[in-house]
Amino acid sequence: MEMLEILVIYPYNTAMANFISIFIGVIALILSFVGLVPLLGWTNWLILPFAGIGALFGLISSRASGMYFCLIVMCICAFRLWIGGGII
């Protein structure tokens, strides 16, 4: 008995979506270093949705590395917000 192969044709370039996800994640990570400075933790509220958009690009990608990278950046920002009480 032969296995049936199903060819999936994506209407978009999935490798490019992974690259976009990693690019957005790197930018979010660089900006999150600003949020580590005392009294500038509120910038993490701006970085979280930005990294979330990167994670969505990673979700539609054929690879998961970009999505996981953006999720790690989001965890770093959320941890910093948790330490500062959500504002500072």
Question: Residue 16 has what pLDDT?
Answer: 87
Residue 4, in any domain of the structure: no
Number of domains in the chain: 1
Residue 29, in any domain of the structure: no
Residue 82, in any domain of the structure: yes
Residues of the domain holding 76: 16-21+43-88
Residue 18 makes CB contacts below 8 A (sequence gap 6+) with 57, 58, 61, 62, 63, 65, 66
Residue 57, in any domain of the structure: yes
Residue of higher predicted confidence among 7 and 73:
73
How does 16-42 read in b/e, with b if 16+ C-beta sit within 10 Å? Answer: ebbebbbebbeebbebbeebeeeeebe
Per-residue pLDDT of 9-67, as tens digits, reads 666 667 788 999 999 999 999 999 998 888 888 899 999 999 999 999 999 888 889 99
Residue 34, in any domain of the structure: no
Question: Residue 86 has what pLDDT?
Answer: 79
Residue 70, in any domain of the structure: yes
**pTM of the model as a whole:** 0.80
Question: Residue 32 has what pLDDT?
Answer: 93
Q: Which amino acid is at 79?
A: F
Question: Residue 88 has what pLDDT?
Answer: 67
